[in-house]
């Protein structure tokens, strides 16, 4: 049911809009991120420093003190004939409680009859399991619980079991309706575990069946082998002016082998930030051009496309290879498109403009997507479709272990570049337990006085965009005064392409010494003189993204320094951030990120029709993954059979709607 059919109250409609929930399925798939199990404790069992859960009667009216947006509320309750002094933060509405009201309180016992509460409930909830949902400012747990309960009541008939009965029985799964009810309103741990198992399996099955459908919709997997002079390729490599690492040599050999055989190449080249993936891609583009084919290198930003274009021109054109750069609204766009269509351009570098409808290639043979997770499957396929039997290389600086890559990507071949080129000194990372630059200001000024440049990264553009996070506009206004006489500039995604390019070019030429930016610098030009990065609200980023960001300051033989700033007191958060201080190994960091945060959009499936994982975890759920992959294959190979047809048709409809069409 859509929101109109659900007949929600205005307040609940507003909650749905703020959480991007468009229909009943979205609402019922808005799963809790954790649960609280309320097991009643007696006062005599309280231990200092440990979590407690107890029932008490309110014996003093709550008093609230405010400091800015933060509030502290204190009140007293009677528990087992003892008066407990309770402190709770940012719950000012607790003032509405009535004297002698029964409360369930959870929190930490501080000793001396004092408890710092993390939650309270205006009734006895001991013996129950309470779901906790992801929140946004102004939305309470109770708001979401009531929304979910109302939709569950209205949509009982919608919750039909679409899974083929064979798999439900084989894996001893509960039915879909019970799974949805029990994940939101579990009566006990067993019910909750069974609900999670069923819904995880569903997620993985949808995912792998969609992959099967998308692979099945592709053209044949054979091509005419590309013929090129291997000796010329080796001469080209010698002319690069640097020695390839062992990993680069191995990746190069794998790519050349793929180009020269009859199987269409479908290869992921993954490696650390600055590990030299682009150099390997250049070799592939050169060999492809020698074979008489055009190659396209797709970059996620105009800035990076231009940088790749300049680099390729200087290297390729002495060998007679013509390089063109294409992006939206460029001055000579028509002429560049004409050169591509006539085959005068051997290598074309660009953004999404490369797969625009009016761009025609004479003989496209190789497509390379840089930072592949930033392009959806649909975009990559659209570019591949510009040629016939086109080879594809995806490049990613978010490396994952080979066994995991095999699990995710299935039959994709993987080349891994784990070692950095000689001379790179890497980056030292420090955790600052304060969301302020004040403690490191002397070090910042010293670095600028030495002639180095600095990135300062914020999580939000505007103050209202990300609650309690530092915003780039505010930081820029404050820091441009603090860091005088050095030039400070502002960069974020709401600027137009021309403005962004001008700022990055000035930063590249050292006309700007401090760049205050959002994560748009995660993928950008290589500014070798920039050797320091400061990241505000570091707790709001994933480990892999933080590792990618700090890679901006390890592009030269100068040692980079990265400061992670956070005001968080959460020990789990601090432990996670400390992983970056202890390791520069992108593979280990990515693995930890997957364990802690899930896969996100590592597959580049955004807007592609491939379902994302909400509950499923690629590290922990290997048994679900293997079962779902096997079952998806059975359904795909037997899709005409009655017992599989309805489920296959549903997933096929979603894939058609979002991808194939």
Residue 193 located in a structural domain: yes
Residues 376, 381: Cα–Cα separation, whole Å: 9
Residues 557, 148: Cα–Cα separation, whole Å: 55
Can you tell me whether residue 214 is helix, strand or coil? helix
Same domain, 552 and 453: yes
pTM of the model as a whole = 0.64
Confidence of residue 581 (pLDDT cuts 50, 70, 90): very high
| Domain final residue pick, 417, 444, 475 | 417
Residues 604, 301: Cα–Cα separation, whole Å: 16
Q: What is the pLDDT of residue 542?
A: 82
Residues 12, 179: Cα–Cα separation, whole Å: 24
Confidence of residue 36 (pLDDT cuts 50, 70, 90): confident
Residues 237, 245: Cα–Cα separation, whole Å: 12
Residue 103 pLDDT more than 90? yes
Residue 291 located in a structural domain: yes
Residue 609 pLDDT more than 70? no
Mean pLDDT of 344-348: 96
Q: What is the pLDDT of residue 220?
A: 56
Give, for 194, the enclosing helix (H) or strand (E).
Answer: helix 189-217
Same domain, 244 and 388: yes
Give residues with Cβ within 8 angstroms of 76, minimum separation 6.
58, 59, 60, 83, 84, 85, 86
| Residue 484 contacts residue 503 (beta carbons within 8 Å) | no
Q: What are phi and psi of 389, to 5 degrees?
A: 55, 55
Residue 90 exposure: Cα atoms within 13 Å on the Cβ side? 8
Pairing of strands 70-79, 82-89: antiparallel
What's the CATH code of the domain at 301? 3.40.50.300
DSSP 656: I
Q: Angle 381-382-386 (CA atoms, 0-180°, nearest 5)? A: 110
Mean pLDDT of 617-630: 83
Residue 534 located in a structural domain: yes
Same domain, 411 and 431: no
Mean pLDDT is lowest, of 16-25, 50-59, 619-628, for 619-628
Question: What percent of the chain is modeled with pLDDT above 90?
Answer: 46
Residues 57, 370: Cα–Cα separation, whole Å: 61
Same domain, 408 and 260: yes
Q: How many domains does the chain have?
A: 4
Mean pLDDT of 575-579: 90
Whether omega for the bond prior to residue 485 falls within 30 degrees of 0, making it cis, is yes
| Residue 103 contacts residue 56 (beta carbons within 8 Å) | yes
Mean pLDDT is lowest, of 8-22, 157-171, 351-365, 490-504, for 490-504
Can you tell me whether residue 607 is helix, strand or coil? coil
| CA end-to-end span of the chain | 25
- Specify the higher pLDDT residue, 38 or 108: 108
Residue 84 located in a structural domain: yes
CB atoms within 10 A of CB 230: 11
| Residue 365 contacts residue 314 (beta carbons within 8 Å) | no
Residue 605 pLDDT more than 60? no
Q: What is the pLDDT of residue 219?
A: 47
Same domain, 247 and 191: no
Residues 395, 300: Cα–Cα separation, whole Å: 11
Select the highest-mean-pLDDT range: 23-27, 154-158, 270-274, 285-289.
285-289
CB atoms within 10 A of CB 46: 19
Same domain, 476 and 398: no
Q: What is the pLDDT of residue 194?
A: 95
CA 115, 118, 122, 123 torsion-angle sign: negative
Same domain, 411 and 351: yes
Mean pLDDT of 158-169: 92
Mean pLDDT is lowest, of 5-9, 33-37, 277-281, 349-353, for 33-37
Mean pLDDT score of the chain, rounded to an integer?
Answer: 85
- Specify the higher pLDDT residue, 612 or 473: 473
Same domain, 247 and 389: yes
| Domain final residue pick, 583, 599, 631 | 583
| Residue 364 contacts residue 387 (beta carbons within 8 Å) | yes
Same domain, 413 and 434: no
Same domain, 247 and 351: yes
Q: For tokens 């005068």, what's the residue?
A: 344
How many Å separate Cα 60 from the centre of its chain?
47
Confidence of residue 378 (pLDDT cuts 50, 70, 90): low
CB atoms within 10 A of CB 164: 22
| Domain final residue pick, 380, 395, 417 | 417
Which two tokens mark 8? 């929600």
Q: What is the pLDDT of residue 374?
A: 47
| Residue 276 contacts residue 245 (beta carbons within 8 Å) | yes
CB atoms within 10 A of CB 81: 6
How many Å separate Cα 279 from the centre of its chain?
26
- Specify the higher pLDDT residue, 120 or 211: 120
Mean pLDDT of 632-651: 92
DSSP 659: I
Residue 565 located in a structural domain: yes
CA distances from 391 to 265, 267, 269, 369, 385 (A): 5, 9, 13, 11, 11
Mean pLDDT is lowest, of 32-36, 196-200, 603-607, 632-636, for 603-607
Residue 660 pLDDT more than 50? no
Pick left, alpha or beta for residue 121 (phi over 0 → left; psi -120 to 50 → alpha; otherwise beta). beta
Residue 592 located in a structural domain: no
Confidence of residue 338 (pLDDT cuts 50, 70, 90): very high
Q: What is the pLDDT of residues 409-434, one digit of tens each?
A: 556 788 888 877 766 667 899 999 99
Q: What is the pLDDT of residues 449-505, one digit of tens each?
A: 999 999 999 988 876 444 467 889 889 999 999 999 999 999 987 888 778 888 988
Select the highest-mean-pLDDT range: 1-15, 189-203, 462-476.
189-203
Closest CA to 276 of 640, 562, 605, 526: 526
- Specify the higher pLDDT residue, 234 or 394: 234
Residue 147 located in a structural domain: no
Confidence of residue 523 (pLDDT cuts 50, 70, 90): low
Select the highest-mean-pLDDT range: 22-36, 216-230, 543-557.
22-36
Can you tell me whether residue 200 is helix, strand or coil? helix
Same domain, 334 and 440: no
CA distances from 357 to 22, 293, 353 (A): 31, 20, 9
Same domain, 171 and 320: no
Mean pLDDT of 102-110: 93
Residues 284, 259: Cα–Cα separation, whole Å: 8
Structural domain for 397, as ranges: 230-417
Three-state secondary structure string covering 130-164: EEECCCCCCCCHHHHHHHHHHHHHHCHHHCCCCCC
What's the CATH code of the domain at 67? 2.40.50.140
Q: What is the pLDDT of residues 62-79, one digit of tens each?
A: 999 888 778 899 999 999
Q: What is the pLDDT of residues 204-249, one digit of tens each?
A: 998 888 877 766 655 457 889 999 999 999 999 999 888 899 999 9
Residue 192 located in a structural domain: yes
Residues 274, 153: Cα–Cα separation, whole Å: 54
Confidence of residue 603 (pLDDT cuts 50, 70, 90): very low
């Amino acid at each position: 049911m859509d929101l109109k059919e659900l007949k929600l109250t205005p307040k609940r409609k507003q909650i749905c809009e703020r959480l991007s929930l468009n229909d009943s399925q979205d609402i019922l798939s808005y799963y809790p991120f954790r649960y609280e199990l309320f097991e009643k404790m007696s006062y005599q069992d309280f231990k200092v420093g440990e979590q407690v859960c107890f029932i008490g009667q309110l014996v003093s009216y709550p008093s609230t003190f405010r400091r800015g947006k933060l509030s502290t509320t204190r009140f007293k309750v009677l528990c087992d004939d003892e008066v407990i002094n309770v402190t709770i933060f940012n719950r000012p509405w607790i003032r509405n409680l009535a004297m002698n009201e029964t409360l369930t309180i959870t929190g930490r016992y501080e000793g001396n009859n004092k408890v710092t509460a993390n939650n309270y409930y205006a009734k006895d909830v001991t013996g129950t399991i309470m779901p906790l949902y992801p929140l946004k400012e102004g939305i309470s747990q109770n708001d979401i619980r009531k929304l979910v309960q109302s939709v569950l009541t209205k949509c009982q008939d919608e919750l039909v079991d679409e899974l083929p009965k064979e798999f439900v029985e084989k894996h001893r799964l509960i039915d879909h309706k019970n799974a949805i009810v029990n994940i939101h309103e579990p009566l006990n741990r067993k019910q909750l575990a069974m609900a999670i198992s069923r819904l995880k399996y569903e997620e993985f099955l949808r995912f792998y069946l969609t992959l099967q459908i998308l692979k099945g919709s592709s053209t044949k997997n054979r091509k005419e082998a590309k013929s090129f002079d291997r000796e010329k390729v080796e001469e080209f490599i010698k002319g690069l002016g640097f020695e390839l690492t062992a990993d680069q040599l191995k990746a190069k050999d794998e790519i050349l082998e793929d180009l020269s055989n009859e199987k269409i190449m479908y290869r992921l080249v993954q490696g650390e930030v600055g590990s030299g993936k682009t150099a390997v891609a250049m070799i592939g583009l050169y060999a492809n051009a020698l074979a008489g084919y055009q190659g396209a290198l797709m970059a996620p930003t105009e800035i990076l496309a231009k940088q790749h274009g300049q680099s390729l021109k200087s290297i390729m054109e002495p060998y007679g290879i013509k390089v063109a750069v294409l992006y939206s609204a460029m001055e000579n766009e028509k002429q560049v498109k004409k050169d591509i269509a006539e085959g005068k351009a051997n290598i074309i570098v660009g953004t999404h403009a490369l797969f625009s409808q009016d761009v025609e290639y004479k003989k496209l043979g190789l497509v390379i997507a840089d930072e592949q997770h930033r392009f959806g499957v649909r975009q990559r396929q659209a570019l591949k479709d510009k040629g016939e039997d086109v080879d594809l290389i995806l490049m990613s600086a978010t490396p994952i272990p080979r066994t995991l890559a095999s699990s995710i990507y299935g039959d994709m071949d993987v080349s891994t570049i784990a070692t950095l080129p000689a001379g790179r000194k890497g980056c030292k990372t420090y955790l600052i337990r304060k969301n302020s630059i004040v403690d490191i200001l002397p070090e910042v000024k010293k670095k600028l006085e030495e002639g180095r440049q600095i990135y300062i990264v914020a999580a939000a553009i505007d103050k209202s965009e990300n609650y309690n996070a530092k915003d780039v506009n505010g930081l820029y206004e404050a820091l441009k005064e603090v860091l005088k006489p050095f030039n400070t500039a502002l960069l974020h995604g709401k600027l137009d392409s021309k403005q962004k390019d001008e700022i990055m070019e000035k930063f590249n030429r050292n006309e700007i010494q401090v760049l205050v930016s959002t994560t748009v610098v995660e993928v950008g030009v290589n500014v070798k003189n920039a050797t320091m990065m400061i990241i505000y609200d570091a707790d709001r980023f994933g480990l892999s993204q933080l590792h990618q960001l700090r890679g901006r300051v390890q592009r030269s033989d100068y040692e980079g320094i990265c400061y992670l700033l956070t005001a968080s007191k959460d020990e789990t958060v601090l432990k996670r951030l400390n992983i970056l201080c202890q390791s520069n190994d992108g593979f280990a960091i990515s693995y930890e990120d997957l364990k802690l945060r899930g896969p996100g959009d590592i597959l580049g499936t955004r807007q592609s029709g491939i379902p994302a994982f909400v509950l499923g975890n690629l590290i922990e759920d290997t048994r679900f993954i293997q079962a779902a992959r096997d079952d998806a294959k059975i359904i795909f190979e037997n899709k005409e059979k009655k017992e599989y047809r309805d489920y296959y048709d549903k997933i096929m409809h979603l894939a058609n709607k979002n991808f194939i069409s």
